[in-house]
Amino acid sequence: MSSLLNVDRQHNTSWQLNVARDLSPYLDPLILDWLCRSPETLVRLTEMYGSPLNIVWPHTVAPNLQAMAAVTASFGVETRFYYGVKVNKSQALLRAAVLAGAGADVSSIQELRDALRAGCRGADLCATGPAKTRDFLQELILQDAQIVVDSPQELQEVIELARNWKRNSTRVRILLRLRPDASRSSRFGMPSDEIIKVLPAVASCKQVTLVGFHFHLNGYAPEPRVNAFFDTLPLFTYARSLGLAPNIIDIGGGLPVQYVESESYQRWFSSQSSNDYRTGLVPSSFYPYGGELNAARWLKQFLAGQDPQGKTVSSWLHSEGLTLCAEPGRSLVNQGAISIFRVCRVAPETDKYSVIFVEGSSFSACETWFNSEFLIDPLHLAPVNKGEQFASGKAWIAGHSCLDEDVITNRLVYFRRLPQPDDLLIFTNTAGYQMDLLENRFHRHPTPTRLTALLNTSHNLTFSIDK
C-alpha cells in the first residue's frame, strides 16, 4: 500500500507560475488553484521524486463520464462506456473510471488483470485488438468478457476455445468488427462481405452468442462515424434473419478533447509558418488540440446525424432496439494528469531563439516521435526574484539523452520569461497517450514516478505513489 507523502515542508524561495503567450492550456480548476497557491509543494515533490514527474488527478474522470452520459441520456439512448485502458498506465485513473461506472476496454492480458484489480467485473470488460493471444482469449472467456472479434481466423480460435471452456449454459459474448469502406486499408476488422460469410458459423455454434457489431475510425470528425453507423445497420438485418439477436453497436473511441481555447488556437494555427519551428518544417498532421468539439458536443452531433431519408442515428437506435457502446480513452481522462520537467540548462542557438535542455526525454512527451507536435505551451514555474529583470524569448525543448532525435518540441515556444536552470516546465493534460506511452529506461534512467493526487477528508491534497 502506498504511503501518503508529507509535502508541507517550507522553502525559503518563493515560486511563481508563468503562463505562456500563444497556446495557453485549459486547466482543471483544482489543479490550477494548487499550482498557484502551492508551487513550493510541486518543487518539493520534484526534488523527492525526480524529473520528469507525472501527477494524475482521479477526480477529473467522473465529470468527464457524466458529461458524455448526459448527452446520450438526453436522446433517450441506452449507452455503455468502456474506458480505453491503453491510454495510460495509471491504476488510479483506471480505478476512478470503474468507480464512475465505466467498463474497461482491454487489449492485453496485463490490462485485463489491472482492470480486475481496479474492481471491474469480468462481465464489464470489452476486449479489442487485432491479434489477441490464445492466453488472452482464454482468460477473457473465463472472465465472461465481451470479445470484439477482428478476423475469421480469430473467430475460429474463439469458437474452438469456447467449445473447450464453456460447458455450462453461459455463452461467450462476441461482437464482429466491421472494417468500413472509409478504412479499406486498415488492418483492423473485416469488410461487410466477409462478416456475412462468417455469420452462419456463429449461428451454428451453441457456445458463442453474437451481441453486436463494432467499428472504429481514425480521425475526429463525427460525419465519417455517422456514415459507418449506417453502413453497419444491414448486418443486423442479416444476422437476425439467421436467428441471431444482436443488440449492440459499438463505435469505438476517438472522441475529441479540447486542450486549448478554440478561437485562439485557430488563430495561431492558421498563421503558423516554417519560422515557428527550429527545423524550418511545419508537421503535416496534428491532433485537433483546439478543435470546436469536445466529447459531449461530438456525441450530440453524432446522435443527430441523419441518413439520406432524414432519419437520425438516435432514431435508428430506438427503432432497432440497439444499445450504443463506445470506448473513450483520452476524453475520459481529459485533465487527468500533468507532467513536470526540470530545466537542466538553456543555451542560445541563434540570435532568434534558444534551446532548453530538460531532465528527462521525449519518451515521456512523445508527439515528435510521430512527426507531430504537442500544441500546448508548457506552464513555467520559476523563483520570484524581486527587482530582477528577465529576458523574454523563443526556445525549443530538448531531452537530455544522447539521441539527436530526443526533442520534446521542435516548435519555438514564446516565453514571457525565458526559463533558467532548475526552473520547472509543466505540461498539462498529459494523461491521454502522452506521459507514459513510450517511457522506458534508456541510459538506465529510472522510469518516471507517477503520483496520485487526492483530496482527504479535510479537503487537503495528499500525494501517493500510483500503483
pLDDT bin (cut points 50, 70, 90) of residue 233 is: very high
Amino acid symbol at 389: Q
Domains of the chain: 15-57+335-465 (2.40.37.10), 60-258+293-326 (3.20.20.10)
> Does pLDDT of 2 surpass 50?
no
Q: Could you tell me which of 204, 207, 197 has the C-alpha nearest to residue 160?
A: 207
| Ranges 44-58, 360-374, 422-436: which has the least confidence | 360-374
All three cell numbers of 255: 472522441
Catalytic-labelled residue, pool 120, 126, 344, 402: 402
Question: 402 an active-site residue?
Answer: yes
pLDDT, position 12? 73
Amino acid symbol at 260: V
Q: What is the pLDDT of residues 100-128, one digit of tens each?
A: 999 999 999 999 999 999 999 999 999 99
Q: What residues does 16 pair with on adjacent strands? A: 382
Q: Which residue has the higher pLDDT, 405 or 461?
A: 461
Cα–Cα separations (whole angstroms), residue 386 to 11, 43, 96, 133, 415: 17, 19, 42, 61, 19
CA dihedral of 54, 57, 58, 61, whole degrees rounded to 10: -110
Name, in order, each residue with C-beta under 8 angstroms of 380's C-beta and a sequence gap of 6 or more. Answer: 17, 18, 19, 20, 415, 417, 419, 423, 424, 425, 426
> Does pLDDT of 168 surpass 80?
no
pLDDT, position 8? 47
pLDDT, position 371? 86
Cα–Cα separations (whole angstroms), residue 75 to 3, 150, 293, 301, 417: 44, 30, 18, 11, 49
pLDDT, position 386? 63
Q: Which residue has the higher pLDDT, 446 or 335?
A: 335
pLDDT, position 65? 98
Amino acid symbol at 29: P
pLDDT bin (cut points 50, 70, 90) of residue 443 is: confident
Task: Tell me what the mean pLDDT of segment 268-285 comes to.
Answer: 95
Cα–Cα separations (whole angstroms), residue 376 to 34, 57, 227, 416: 20, 19, 32, 15
